[in-house]
């Protein structure tokens, strides 16, 4: 069995077996207690900061409703995400509309719901609906300690305005009749080195002489699961105070990753140059290993004396369809259950219908019961929009 260095699985093995038996595999299972605990950790670290959940991490309506009931707002980056926010009753103070290439429909939906917009480039000042509330996203142009695809605050990333442009964009917003609430910074996801936040916040603070005081400083998200939240919070509050601003934050992954487990059954084994354990989930259910080289902790839910090193391979006809590499497991046999941990963020939300695979069911473990959050799609649902 190979576990994360920091975490034990949130679910007891008997819960995992029960969920897989009841709903089949592949299956996403979320632990309600861990969802609540993660929000509790954020709240206790960040105190009075306003929390906006970056919905892209996992947009399931059950999760959104739980977060909304706990007073959390939403950061949305597409018309579909804005529609989800509306579906759960968010709007006004509880809605941020972000994205580097917003469509007319997204501006209109955001305006209708009274959202605050995050301006990503100067041209947007002229595209915003009249009298919008807006933050200006700043790119601090740093080397960010994460996978290149997850770095959004590097000089070569497509996000935000430059530090030099930011004061003028705030001023242009005011002149155009908008409410320029303040600055926004989000440097990337799954950031390994806390110094990156320190550096980004310091670059923002340097803008104070040019911007004057501001109402809001949005410090984004991107915290690793083992991040020192109190430390990041202290620094975020310090830069907010430089501007005399309220602090907003936008965690995604931190709020949902650890609560989620992907359950998959062993289909068989194969020995080529490597030892492969073949399972019924793959890149269509969990893309992160293939997309970002992400390493998810894996645990075997079967016993066995002999342990060997395996690569966990999915069913897709793609060589890159590996969920984990070099994991030590007891000898697997067909039907055994494997748990892939820290899969609650960017797991189900990134799952796809490639190969006409049905996206998996999602289930919540709460109060000793399993509650369906999303049923498994049928093939007919997958091709329904093609029946034209
Ligand atoms: C603007 C913005 N805010 C917040 C997030 C959430 O990041 P994470 O899930 O790493 O906390 C993202 C993710 O990419 C983002 O782009």
Hey, what CATH class is 33-255 in?
alpha beta
Cα gap 104→107, rounded to integer Å: 5
pLDDT of res. 5: 35
Q: Is 139 in the pocket of ligand 1 (CB under 6 A)?
A: no
Q: How far is the CA of 186 from the centre of ligand 1 (A)?
A: 7
Testing ligand 1's pocket by substitution, the residue of 222, 233, 260 carrying the most ligand atoms inside 8 A of its CB is 222
Q: Is 157 in the pocket of ligand 1 (CB under 6 A)?
A: no
Which residues have C-beta within 8 Å of that of residue 370, sequence separation ≥ 6?
15, 18, 19, 22, 23, 29, 363, 364
Testing ligand 1's pocket by substitution, the residue of 51, 73, 186, 217 carrying the most ligand atoms inside 8 A of its CB is 186
The average pLDDT across 242-256 equals 98
Q: How far is the CA of 251 from the centre of ligand 1 (A)?
A: 6
Q: How far is the CA of 305 from the centre of ligand 1 (A)?
A: 42
Q: Is 75 in the pocket of ligand 1 (CB under 6 A)?
A: yes
Cα gap 16→367, rounded to integer Å: 15
Cα gap 322→131, rounded to integer Å: 49
Q: Where is average pLDDT lowest: 14-28, 42-56, 153-167?
A: 153-167
Q: Is 232 in the pocket of ligand 1 (CB under 6 A)?
A: no
pLDDT of res. 145: 74
Q: Is 188 in the pocket of ligand 1 (CB under 6 A)?
A: no
- If one compares 10 and 125, the residue with the highest pLDDT of the two is 125
- If one compares 72 and 156, the residue with the highest pLDDT of the two is 72
| Residues 106-131 pLDDT 10s | 999 999 999 999 999 999 999 999 99
Ligand 1 atom nearest residue 253's Cα: 9
The answer to whether 76 is a known catalytic residue is no
pLDDT of res. 10: 63
Secondary structure of the chain as H, E, C letters: CECCCCCCCCCCHHHHHHHHHHHCCCEEEEEHHHHHHHHHHHHHHHCCCEEEEEHHHCCCHHHHHHHHHCCCEEEECCHHHHHHHHHCCCCHHHEEECCCCCCHHHHHHHHHCCCEEEECCHHHHHCCCCCCEEEEEEECCCCCCCCHHHECCCCCCCCCEECCCHHHHHHHHHHCCCEEEEEECCCECCECCCHHHHHHHHHHHCCHHHHCCCCEEECCCCECCCCCHHHHHHHHHHHHHHHCCEEEECCCHHHHCCCEEEEEEEEEEEECCCEEEEECCCCCCCCHHHHHCCCCCEEECCCCCCEEEEEEECCCCCCCCEEEEEEEEECCCCCCEEEECCCCCCCHHHCCCHHHCCCCEEEEEECCEEEEEECCCCHHHHHHHHCC
| Residues 22-81 pLDDT 10s | 999 999 999 999 999 999 999 999 999 999 999 999 999 999 999 999 999 999 999 999
Cα gap 257→43, rounded to integer Å: 17
- Find out whether 23 is annotated in a ligand binding site: no
Per the residue annotation, which of 317, 319, 380, 387 is the catalytic one?
317
Query: Domain spans of the chain?
Result: 13-30+257-378, 33-255
Ligand 1 atom nearest residue 56's Cα: 13
The average pLDDT across 212-220 equals 97
Q: What is the CATH number of domain 13-30+257-378?
A: 2.40.37.10
């Amino acid at each position: 069995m190979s576990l994360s260095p920091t975490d034990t699985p949130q679910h007891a093995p008997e819960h995992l077996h029960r969920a897989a038996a009841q709903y089949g595999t592949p299956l996403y299972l979320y632990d309600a207690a861990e969802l609540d605990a993660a929000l509790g950790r954020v709240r206790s670290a960040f105190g009075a900061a306003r929390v906006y959940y970056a919905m892209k991490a996992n947009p399931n309506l059950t999760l959104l409703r739980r977060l909304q009931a706990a007073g959390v707002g939403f950061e949305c980056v597409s018309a579909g995400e804005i529609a989800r926010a509306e579906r759960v009753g968010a709007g006004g103070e509880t809605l941020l509309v972000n994205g580097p290439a917003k469509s007319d429909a997204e501006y209109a939906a955001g305006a209708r719901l009274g959202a605050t917009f995050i301006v990503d480039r100067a041209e947007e000042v002229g595209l915003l609906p009249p009298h919008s509330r807006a933050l200006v996203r700043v790119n601090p142009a740093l080397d960010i300690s994460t996978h290149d695809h997850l770095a959004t605050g590097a000089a070569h990333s497509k996000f935000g305005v430059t530090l030099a442009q930011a004061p003028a964009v705030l001023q242009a917003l005011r002149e155009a009749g908008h409410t320029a609430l303040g600055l926004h910074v989000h440097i990337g996801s799954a950031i390994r080195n806390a110094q990156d936040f320190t550096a980004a916040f310091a670059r923002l603070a340097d803008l104070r002489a040019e911007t004057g005081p501001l109402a809001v400083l949005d410090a984004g998200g991107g915290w690793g699961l083992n991040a020192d939240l109190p430390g990041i919070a202290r620094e975020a509050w310090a830069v907010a105070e430089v501007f005399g601003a309220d602090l907003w934050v936008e965690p995604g992954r931190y709020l949902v990753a650890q609560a989620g487990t992907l359950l998959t059954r062993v289909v068989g084994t194969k020995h080529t140059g490597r030892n492969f354990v073949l399972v019924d989930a793959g890149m269509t259910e969990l893309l992160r290993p293939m997309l970002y080289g992400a390493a998810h902790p894996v645990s075997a839910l079967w016993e066995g004396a002999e342990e060997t090193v395996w690569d966990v391979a999915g069913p897709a006809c793609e060589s890159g369809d590996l969920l984990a590499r070099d994991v030590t497991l007891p000898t697997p046999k067909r039907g055994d259950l494997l748990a892939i941990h820290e899969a609650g963020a960017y797991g189900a939300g990134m799952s796809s219908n490639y190969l006409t695979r049905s996206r998996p069911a999602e289930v919540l473990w709460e109060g000793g019961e399993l509650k369906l959050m999303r049923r498994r799609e049928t093939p007919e649902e997958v091709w329904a929009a093609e029946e034209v």
